[in-house]
Amino acid sequence: MSFDFFLPSDKSTWREEMRNVRKYYRGGDVTSLSVGEPLGVNGTPLYPIEVMYREDRQCAALLVRGDTNDYHKTPYFFLSKAKRDETIVWLKRDPS
């Protein structure tokens, strides 16, 4: 298993990834989008959006948090709570 991460210079790649998540959510391949509890890494809080896919694609949350209760969720971490919250609203926004 590998993890991808985006730097501030990767804006176009990050936007493409978020557009894909929104497309999969609208199409039913993503069954749940939720915010998770912050996770501290070396004193830096990371704010997750937890994505649950229809098919069990990976166990990223299990590897990151070591919690078997979240093994079915794929986390996307943000450095800013405000940006995370803005992004989840955009992901869930009705297309009409």
Domains in the chain (CATH in brackets) are: 10-92 (3.30.160)
Q: Is 0.75 surpassed by the pTM of this model?
A: yes
Mean pLDDT of 86-96: 91
Q: Check residues 6 and 85 and name the one with the higher pLDDT.
A: 85
Q: Which residues, in sequence order, are CB contacts of 96 under 8 Å at separation 6+?
A: none
The pLDDT tens digits of the residues spanning 41-79 come to: 899 999 999 998 876 555 554 455 555 555 577 889 999
**pLDDT at residue 61 in the model:** 46
CA distance to 1, 37, 44, 53, 68, per residue, from 82 (Å): 29, 14, 15, 24, 28
